[in-house]
């Protein structure tokens, strides 16, 4: 991602999030940038570059945010199931 302008990076991140429905953290990992960079690119910069795409990304980020507590609960459940299985062996 280093060879792209900030505007190109913002658009590429946005298209990736729209296509994959990935989270900000997942996009950051995929593109090798920080979560803060992804968030700033798709929340602020993209509004000036491509408002329609920014709206699409915002919908996905809002959906991810609404589901965040469910994912956290599932991760905790997996963790303790694994620990219980480990203790039973």
In a domain, residue 1? The reply is no
pLDDT at position 76, please? 87
Band (pLDDT 50/70/90 cuts) for residue 2 is low
- The span from the CA of 50 to the CA of 59, in Å, is 15
Structural domain boundaries, residue 32: 6-88
Q: Which comes out higher in pLDDT, residue 83 or 61?
A: 61
Which residue do the tokens 């203790």 mark?
87
Residues 11-64 pLDDT 10s: 999 999 999 999 999 999 999 999 999 999 999 999 999 999 999 999 999 998
pLDDT at position 70, please? 80
Number of domain units in the chain: 1
Band (pLDDT 50/70/90 cuts) for residue 3 is low
Which residue do the tokens 């062996």 mark?
89
* Cβ contacts of 24 within 8 Å, gap of 6 or more: 17, 35, 38, 39, 42, 61, 64
Helices (H), the chain: 6-20, 24-31, 35-40, 46-49, 51-88
Which residue do the tokens 């459940």 mark?
77
Pick from 20, 38, 19: which is nearest to 29 by CA?
Answer: 38
């Amino acid at each position: 991602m280093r060879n792209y302008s900030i505007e190109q990076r913002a658009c590429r991140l946005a298209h990736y999030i729209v296509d994959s429905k990935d989270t900000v953290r997942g996009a950051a990992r995929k593109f090798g940038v920080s979560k803060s960079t992804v968030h700033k690119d798709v929340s602020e910069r993209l509004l000036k570059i491509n408002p329609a795409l920014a709206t699409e990304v915002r919908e996905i980020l809002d959906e991810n945010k609404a589901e965040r507590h469910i994912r956290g609960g599932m991760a905790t459940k997996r963790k303790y199931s694994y620990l219980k299985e480990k203790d039973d062996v």
